[in-house]
Structure 1
Amino acid sequence: MIQPDVVTAFTAVRDINLDEPGTPQAETKAATFKSASSSIYDLAASMSAKGQLWNWGVHDSEFVAEIEARLPGFTEYGTDGFSEQLYYLALRDLPKGLESCDGRTVLEVGCGMGEGLNFLSRLVPTARMTGLDLAPKAIASATATLSRGDTLRFVQGDAEELPFEDSSVDVLVNIESSHTYPNLGRFLREAARALRRGGALSHIDVFTRQRLEAMRRITTEIPELKWVSDHDISDQVRAAVRRRMPPDSHLRSTLNKQRMNRLARTLALHSQITVFGGTFADYQPPASVKMLSRLGLVPPMDSLPMETYRHQIAVRV
């Protein structure tokens, strides 16, 4: 049976990305959605294994080689490495690359269970990194398993009301999270407020046509942020997603180790492939899942028409 919060969250994400942000319709849905979204990520935190990252990822052999040079043995971490490559990209393309973070304050907004930021803290061990997420249990899990004093810490909070002082952050990272924010403009203004002059925002996310148009309009309304790059990385994302689908993939091998019946395994695989961007990479669910979806027993996770996945960088002026 589908949990009510799941239906609420997926319906709201669709509305957020197809409605005009800031309209009365969008604002009315915001509080309900945030509560449902927080509940879902708290549930994910209780089910996730240590080291598991939750995003679509990218695949680029050049990124793999560069990460391996900085972190020998990276390819033997026990993950498929696609999420780590996405996090690496978030810092790699900053104006000064990873050196932008040396000895600096780095904030990830929307850190989930914290594994992505934990990976970045290994890439740049001299940085002071903080992860923020709306879901309290996800933050509690990250704090209990990953925090390391001032080097890596986690706080619970809202992306649209950042609990940080003005000009207190050098680099702000936001990865595959802002498409769930009811008010994108409010988040970007908060990012501009929290960043020090000369600091950088690395923003990575997937967009519907409507959301991208809204993003581009909003960026013209925030003069404190100078956008210096906007790259379409859809092909690299699709390359990662498609590598998670075959029977011998890390994702499917991990699922095969879990004890469950055939239908449960099919549904679990469908859920994970869809969550990890399957529809964006032309994934088609099996007939059994389509039937259950028609009966309302599977949430409409594949109904959002995402068109492009982008990496955008802004400098605080």
Structure 2
Amino acid sequence: MSSRLFSRVLDVASTGKFPRVQKWVWRRIYNLLSLSWRDRDWRFMNYGFVPADPTFLLEAEDEAERAFIGLYQQAVEGLPVRGKRVLEIGSGRGGGSRFIARYHAPASIVGLDYSPETVRRARRINQDAPSLVFETGDAENLPYADGSFDIVVNIESSHCYGNVPAFAREVSRVLAPGGWFTFADMRSKTQLAALDGQLGAPGLELAEARNISKGVVAALDAAEARKRERIGRSRWMQHFMTEFSGSKGSALYKGLSRGDIVYVARRYRKAG
């Protein structure tokens, strides 16, 4: 797929334009990626985050994923995860849920994703994580009872949704009183005010708002060589994957570097 065609796909799928088409496009993109990008050691699909002082410890087997894990570490750092019920919405290949399960000791963690093929792959490559299951479901219509979770995690997924306010209402519904919703994703600078309005569902109180774009660009730089090596093995998808992965020279990399695209982190607490 050429860079020009990829840009047109992103334009159709951008938040607020043709919401039903948007969800349809993203679901099929991720199904395609799961079918074609079969590497067992590639558990993450996010752009990553490298903090100014990356001090959290990882086991040797996870060091190669440090840049990607950083986005999850910043999301849950300081939250009372131990012994709690955790839901990740938009769990992708499951690396983030696996990290939380292995390093933060929740009582249970569910990884939910809209792409059936991605869920199947996540189950296959994350069998070593305790108290972790993966399920297929829609972020805008969660298949869980009210108050089912203590912490909801949503990382780099909401830009695929057709109805972000409906998603936020569902998060508020499935959170127990006093629970936490931790969110990270990117938007164009002009969409930030709208995003905060969309996430402000009844019952959710904003506790923290940060711009983490600098750390995301640092993670893209840190992962560049590994991504380029893998992209070089994709005979038919090199242009597509260069853009999709945020490699240097891509529209996303340039936008984040210039500040036209902003990567934000938000934390909300459920009232009560």
Aligned AA (1:164): Y
Residue of structure 2 aligned with 1:243, choices 222, 231, 234: 222
Q: How does 1:137-152 map to 2 (within 5 A)?
A: 137-147=117-127, 151-152=131-132
Q: 1:198 to 1:31 in 2, by over 3 A?
A: same
Corresponding position of 1:195: 175
Structure 2's unaligned 5+ residue stretches are none
Corresponding position of 1:154: 134
Q: 1:251 to 1:240 in 2, by over 3 A?
A: same
Q: Distance in 2 between matches of 1:150 and 1:177?
A: 24
Corresponding position of 1:113: 93
Q: Is the Cα–Cα contact under 8 Å of residues 233 and 311 in structure 1 kept in the other structure? A: yes
Q: Distance in 2 between matches of 1:110 and 1:216?
A: 19
Q: Deviations over 1:141-196 (max 9, x none)?
A: 21233246970001111100011110011000000111111111110010000000
Q: Distance in 2 between matches of 1:140 and 1:78?
A: 25
Corresponding position of 1:59: 50
Q: Distance in 2 between matches of 1:132 and 1:123?
A: 19
Residue of structure 2 aligned with 1:282, choices 254, 263, 268: 254
Q: Is the Cα–Cα contact under 8 Å of residues 13 and 26 in structure 2 kept in the other structure? A: no
Q: Distance in 2 between matches of 1:123 and 1:279?
A: 34
Q: Distance in 2 between matches of 1:268 and 1:244?
A: 17
Q: Deviations over 1:259-309 (max 9, x none)?
A: 85xxx68636633543799434328xxxxxxxxxxxxxxxxxx9xx95211
- SS of the aligned residue for 2:184 comes to strand
Q: Distance in 2 between matches of 1:265 and 1:191?
A: 35
Worse overlay, 143-152 or 123-132: 143-152
Worse overlay, 105-114 or 204-213: 204-213
Q: Is the Cα–Cα contact under 8 Å of residues 231 and 242 in structure 2 kept in the other structure? A: no
Question: 4+ residue stretches of structure 1 with deviation over 4 A?
Answer: 5-9, 147-150, 275-278
Q: Distance in 2 between matches of 1:265 and 1:42?
A: 14
Q: Distance in 2 between matches of 1:316 and 1:42?
A: 33
Q: Distance in 2 between matches of 1:89 and 1:164?
A: 26
- SS of the aligned residue for 1:161 comes to coil
Q: Deviations over 1:238-257 (max 9, x none)?
A: 11123344xxx22224445x
Residue of structure 2 aligned with 1:79, choices 37, 54, 64: 64
Aligned AA (2:222): R
Q: 1:266 to 1:143 in 2, by over 3 A?
A: closer
Q: Distance in 2 between matches of 1:272 and 1:133?
A: 19
Q: Distance in 2 between matches of 1:9 and 1:131?
A: 27
* Fraction of identical pairs, as percent: 26
Q: Distance in 2 between matches of 1:172 and 1:146?
A: 20
Aligned AA (1:206): M
Aligned AA (1:13): A
Q: How many aligned residue pairs are there?
A: 265
Q: Distance in 1 between matches of 2:244 and 2:22?
A: 21
Q: 1:266 to 1:183 in 2, by over 3 A?
A: closer
Q: 1:159 to 1:88 in 2, by over 3 A?
A: same
Residue of structure 2 aligned with 1:310, choices 239, 264, 268: 264
Shift, 1:12, TM fit: 2.5
Q: Is the Cα–Cα contact under 8 Å of residues 225 and 314 in structure 1 kept in the other structure? A: yes
Q: Distance in 1 between matches of 2:123 and 2:220?
A: 29
Q: Is the Cα–Cα contact under 8 Å of residues 80 and 250 in structure 1 kept in the other structure? A: no
Shift, 1:234, TM fit: 1.0
Q: 1:133 to 1:125 in 2, by over 3 A?
A: same
Aligned AA (2:68): S
Worse overlay, 232-241 or 166-175: 232-241
Return the index of the structure with the highest Cα Rg. 1
TM-score by length of 2: 0.85
Q: Is the Cα–Cα contact under 8 Å of residues 100 and 106 in structure 2 kept in the other structure? A: no
Residue of structure 1 aligned with 2:20, choices 31, 48, 69: 31
Q: 1:30 to 1:277 in 2, by over 3 A?
A: farther
Aligned AA (1:112): G
Corresponding position of 1:91: 76
Corresponding position of 1:229: 208
Aligned residues: CA RMSD: 2.9
Q: Distance in 2 between matches of 1:241 and 1:105?
A: 31
